[in-house]
Amino acid sequence: MGSSENKVLTNLRKGVLEFCLLALLRDGEWYGLDIARRLSQLGLLAGEGTVYPLLSRLRRSGLVTTEWSESDVGRPRRYYTLTELGRENLREFTEVWGPFRSTVDEILETES
């Protein structure tokens, strides 16, 4: 992949990463490292360190909440859960994403 393709992919990731993370949390709580690993596996994160500042920002914005849980091995873990405000933001994104994606697809597929 060329450098301009990498730049395009990086910008696309930045635009949708927050909502993909919220979608992961839709069905229950997740441990931060598990979120980072899953998003990395899906190709949405270049590195695991990217997710923690995002999680912190989402928490400060009231889109996710956290809870510490004791671990059988090692130190306590922080788990993230979607708040009602986070669910609403995800619903709004989902409503807009389909038509937006279709429009972009239509433009890209149109021959000049």
- Predicted confidence pLDDT, tens digits, the chain (112 residues): 667 667 887 788 888 999 999 999 999 999 999 999 999 999 888 777 889 999 999 999 999 999 998 877 788 899 999 999 999 999 999 999 999 999 999 999 987 6
Query: What is the per-residue pLDDT for 111?
Result: 72
Measured CA to CA, the distance from residue 12 to residue 14 in angstroms comes to 5
- SS3 call for 46: coil
Query: What is the per-residue pLDDT for 70?
Result: 83
| Contacts with 9 (C-beta within 8 Å, 6 or more apart), sequence order | 1
Measured CA to CA, the distance from residue 15 to residue 36 in angstroms comes to 17
Query: What is the per-residue pLDDT for 112?
Result: 64
Going from the C-alpha of 91 to that of each of 20, 22, 84, 86, the distances in angstroms are 12, 10, 10, 9
Query: What is the per-residue pLDDT for 68?
Result: 92
| Contacts with 76 (C-beta within 8 Å, 6 or more apart), sequence order | 68, 69, 70
Domains identified in the chain and CATH numbers: 3-109 (1.10.10.10)
